[in-house]
Structure 1
């Protein structure tokens, strides 16, 4: 779980790019959410599933000085 938002990381080592994607999807989600001043997190319980939470501010924070 600590690496789920890392680029190219796959939880299941038997998967390859051909059979399991590139490992970029959640890394892109994290960067997009952070670019809008938000946060993203994941929790997981083995055998029950995972929950992903995206939090975005109502207003975009000011950029620059």
Structure 2
């Protein structure tokens, strides 16, 4: 059974990584970014629900007496 020749793997992997790096750099350099980003003002409107005005007591199962 012939042996697999791995002598060219290192140069192949290295050239692939370098090529991917350059391709990524070119892709990023073509992207236009905003000059001065400013935060958006988000106005949160609170919905009115009928149960907000009432007092309710919530019983958790652990606080109930044992039967």
Q: Normalization by structure 1: what TM-score?
A: 0.31
Q: Larger radius of gyration, structure 1 or 2?
A: 2
Judging by fraction of residues, say which structure has more helix: 2
Q: Normalization by structure 2: what TM-score?
A: 0.31
* Higher RCO (CA 8 Å, separation ≥ 6 residues): 1
